[in-house]
Amino acid sequence: MDRVIPGNAGLAPNGVALARKLAKTRLTVALVLSVTMIVIYFGFMALFAFDKPLLGTILMPGLSLCIVLGPLVIISSFVLCLVYVLWANRVLDAGIRDLR
Amino acid sequence: MGSSTLSIGFFFAFMALTLGITYWAARRTRTTEHFFAAGGQVTPWQNGWALAGDFLSAAALLGIAGIVTSNGFDGMIYSIGWLVGWPIILFLIVEPLRNVGRFTFADVVAYRLRQRPVRVAGAVGTLAVILFYLIAQMVATGSLIKLLFGLPYTWSVVVVGSVMLVYVLFGGMLATTWVQVVKAALLMGGGILLAFLVLTHFDMNPLKLFAAASEKYGTKVLQPGSKVVSGQWDAISLGLGLMFGTAAMPHVLMRAYTVKDAKARGCRSSMPPADRRVSSHGLHHRLWRHGPGRRRRGGQGRRWRQHGRAPARAHRRRQRVLRLHLRGRVRDHARRRRRADAVGRRHALSRRLDQCDPERRRFRGRAAQGRARRNRRDFHVRHHAWHCLRRPERRLHGGPRVLDRLRRELPLARALDHLAPLHAPAAVASILVGTLSSLVLIYLSPTIQVDILGKPLAAIEHQWWFVSLRNPAIISMPLSFAVAILLSLVTREKNANLAFDEMQRRILLGPVQPTTSESARAKSAA
């Protein structure tokens, strides 16, 4: 009958709505970035699994398509991490500070 | 002779350095917190290097170089797969893990589910992963020691195992962290130096290196082959395992706890117990906002809507009605209920934390008190409702209030059920099914049956149990999730949703200073 929900401990009344909004934003950003990473990586892996000849195209002596795309996947993972860290430092942390 | 002496010299220098670090760390380790999480005293930069050390095992330098040498481009699949696990850890896992748990991922799962079964299942899963991960590491290092010193293989493995135990048992997380920092620096330095030295032979142009390789071994070296992964779906499965497997490595995840987090600490200190009163008001406001006013008929509702301040007015009006008409026992009930509410909420939180935290188990007595108080409070509410129904003058005002409460809270309960339907049996089954199915599938795959047990592929190919995939992730991962979802739909857990909100809050804001008992403990420690 009486559910105990200690979820708002420590927040001002209007903070609850703000916190929910911030939590939702964080989740959205995290999910979008994760899905981007998953799409990039499994796109690459799908090429590797299902279309090896395409991935093995020689672009110039000493350079095949896979040697270009492989490091690009790695670089994209760095870039996505950078995006998240910058976003978290600028937006998320500021939002959390405002909540306090 | 020369190079062998040099490598033996390096080996002993590294051993001396790391054992020295272990000795230093052992002298600084005092508490459980120190042992398991280095007291949370590691700076982000140190932690980053230590993570790199955890991650750059010998496999990264020697193993991948070896695969690339023997199989060409295919070796890259491993290094790419390991790297793309990191963003997933960063986006989805680290922050919630750091803010909710204390030492391991099991803390997080046990936070809102029944503690014991979930922890046991978590331990089984973690041990299975670590065991098989360690086997590979020990075999590799044992072979290396055998190569260096000519020790018999068995003894090499024993020596390596004992040294590992010394690091961990005596130095705890602090020693492990610093050993990993040293290792990462050495591995990265060595890797960069080797790459540089190789490139000096090719005018610092990697394309020339690749061209030379393809000239010598054929263009196959630069193209994806099928030696490392044969099947099409096997490749996808390997990708799944590499990406999400990295994100679940226990020894990587536990690094989340070694960093001192100024943010979390700030949150903790700005969370005085007094705020709790304010917060319970916040909760009521939220409930009220959805509740009355809108549903009432007549002019009152319209007027509230016009003024746009229905909740506060509803609150005040209800208070006034209570004061005017229901003097005496009902008012006392209300006051007692409010007090009990706050106390009960505090105790529920404390009980939840008691369950999670082994160090706080001794406060279980208090938790029992909290339960008793909650029971008493529930009794008051029920008592109140019964009186309202029995006595017409109370039914008039008290009844709607209780029914209102019910109506307001039931949708909330349902919403929470939808948001957080994971239950302990489902979590346990999911972890166990994931672990066991991976093990069984690997045992039935050609990796074990053909490569190790030496059965001819043709003979077992048509057996009913034969699994052609060498990498089981594509089966075991969906299976594990499916079990969790199905069992959660079937089973019910009484308290699973209670802590869900608190967990969400913690994920965002970091840990709270939960009860007066802990602040008292902190004071006495200071």
* Chains A & B: contacts with CB separation below 8 Å: 209
pLDDT for res A62: 77
| Average pLDDT estimate for B479-489 | 84
pLDDT at B501: 66
**What's the pLDDT at B232?**
84
CA–CA dist B438, B474 (Å, integer) = 10
**How far is Cα B252 from Cα B93, in angstroms, rounded to an integer?**
11
Residue B372 has pLDDT above 60, yes or no: no
| Domains in chain B, number | 3
CA B411 to chain CA centroid, nearest Å: 30
Which pLDDT tens digit goes with each residue over B180-189?
888 888 888 8
Report the residue from A30, A49, A52 with minimal CB separation from B236.
Answer: A49
How far is B250 from B126, CA to CA, in rounded Å? 6
| Domain match, B284 and B414 both | yes
d(CA A87, CA B13): 43
DSSP B459-500: HHTTSTT----S-THHHHHHHHHHHHHHHHHH---SSTTHHH
CA dist A72 to A33, A59, A78, B188, B221, Å?
16, 15, 10, 21, 19
Nearest CB to A30 within list B91, B409, B512: B91
Q: Which of B400, B419, B438 is the last residue of a domain?
A: B419
How much is the pLDDT for A51? 86
What mean pLDDT is predicted for residues B489-515? 64
pLDDT of residue B511: 60
- Residue B512 vs residue B200, higher pLDDT: B200
With beta carbons under 8 A apart, name residues in chain A contacting B224: 48, 52, 55-56, 66
Q: How far apart are CA B321 and CA B332, in angstroms?
A: 14
pLDDT at B135: 82
- Chain A residues with CB under 8 Å of B509 CB are 10, 19, 96, 99
- Tokens 């509230």 correspond to B304
The pLDDT tens digits of the residues spanning A13-51 come to: 566 677 778 878 888 899 999 999 999 999 999 998 888
pLDDT at B15: 85
Which of B196-200, B295-299, B319-323, B425-429 is most confident?
B196-200
pLDDT score recorded for residue A42: 94
Whether B476 is in a domain gets the answer yes
**Residue B369 and residue B469 share a domain:** no
User: Both B9 and B73 in a single domain?
Assistant: yes
CB atoms within 10 A of CB B302: 12
Q: Is B219 in the same domain as B84?
A: yes
Strand partners, B259: B42
Highest-scoring range by mean pLDDT, A78-92, B31-45, B347-361, B384-398 = A78-92
What are the b/e assignments for B56-74, b being 16+ CB within 10 Å?
Answer: bbebbbebbeebbeebbbb
Bridge partner residues of A63 (DSSP): A60
In this predicted structure, the answer to whether residue B427 has a pLDDT above a threshold of 70 is yes
In terms of DSSP H, where are the helices of B201-328?
A: 206-217, 232-246, 250-253, 262-269, 275-290, 299-307, 310-325
For the record, the structure tokens of B75 come out as 């070796």
Select from B389, B419, B449 the last residue of a domain. B419
pLDDT in tens, B204-254: 888 888 888 888 888 788 888 777 777 888 888 888 888 888 777 777 777
pLDDT value of residue A44: 92
Q: With H, G, I as helix, E, B as strand and everything else as coil, classify residue B271.
A: coil
What is the pLDDT confidence band of residue B415, given thresholds at 50, 70 and 90? very low
Q: What is the mean pLDDT of chain B?
A: 68
Question: Range with the lowest mean pLDDT among A61-65, B272-276, B366-370?
Answer: B272-276
At B277 the pLDDT is 29
Q: What is the pLDDT of residue B324?
A: 57
Are residues B232 and A80, on separate chains, in Cβ contact within 8 Å? Answer: no
Which has more confidence, B276 or B228? Answer: B228
> What is the sign of the dihedral through the CA atoms of B273, B411, B351 and B252?
negative
Q: Considering only CB atoms, which chain A residues are within 8 Å of B344?
A: 4
The whole-number average pLDDT for the span B335-362 is: 48
Q: Which pLDDT tens digit goes with each residue over B30-88?
A: 777 777 776 667 777 777 788 777 777 666 777 788 888 888 788 888 888 878 888 88
Residue B523 domain flag: no
Please indicate, yes or no, if residue B127 is contained in any of the structural domains.
Answer: no
Residue A80 pLDDT > 80, yes or no? yes
CB contact under 8 A, B283 and A8: yes
Statement to judge: residues B308 and B406 lie in one domain: yes
Q: Cα-flanking dihedrals φ and ψ of residue B211, to 5°?
A: -60, -40
Cβ <8 Å between B498 and A55: no
Q: How confident is the model at residue B494 (pLDDT cuts 50, 70, 90)?
A: low
ipTM: 0.83
Q: What is the pLDDT of residue B6?
A: 84
Chain A interface includes B473 (CB < 8 A): no
Of A43-47, A89-93, B221-225, B417-421, which has the strongest mean pLDDT? A43-47
At B334, the pLDDT band (50, 70, 90 cuts) reads low
Q: What percent of chain B has pLDDT over 90?
A: 1
Q: Are residues B225 and B252 both part of a single domain?
A: yes
Predicted local distance difference test score (pLDDT) of residue B467: 81
Tell me if B477 is assigned to some domain: yes
Higher pLDDT residue, B376 or B262? B376
Closest Cα partner for B281 from B334, B342, B331?
A: B342
CA distance B244 to B438: 14
Least confident interval from B173-177, B336-340, B387-391, B402-406? B402-406
User: B297 and B348: one domain?
Assistant: yes
In a domain, B518, yes or no: no
CB-based contact B119:B425 (threshold 8 Å):
no
One domain for residues B200 and B53: yes
Helix ranges, B92-219 (H):
95-100, 105-112, 115-149, 153-200, 206-217
Residues B390 and B449 in one domain: no
Chain-chain contact of B84 with A41 (C-beta, under 8 angstroms): yes
Answer yes or no: do B301 and B402 share one domain: yes
In a domain, B116, yes or no: no
B14 and B82 in a single domain? The answer is yes
Establish if B135 belongs to a structural domain: no
pLDDT at A43: 93
Of B363, B387, B419, the domain-final residue: B419
Are B398 and B458 within one domain?
Answer: no
pLDDT of res. A34: 93
Q: What is the pLDDT of residue A41?
A: 93
Transcribe B222-247 into DSSP letters: GS--SSS--SHHHHHHHHHHHHHHHT
Domain that holds residue B259: 2-101+171-263
DSSP assignments along B4-33, one per residue: HHHHHHHHHHHHHHHHHHHHHHHHH--SHH
Q: What pLDDT sits at residue A19?
A: 76
Nearest residue on chain A to B206, alpha-carbon basis? A62
According to the model, what pLDDT value does residue B460 have? 81
Q: How many CB atoms lie within 10 A of CB B197?
A: 9
Q: Evaluate whether B501 touches A7 at the Cβ level (below 8 Å).
A: yes
Query: B139 lies in a domain?
Result: no
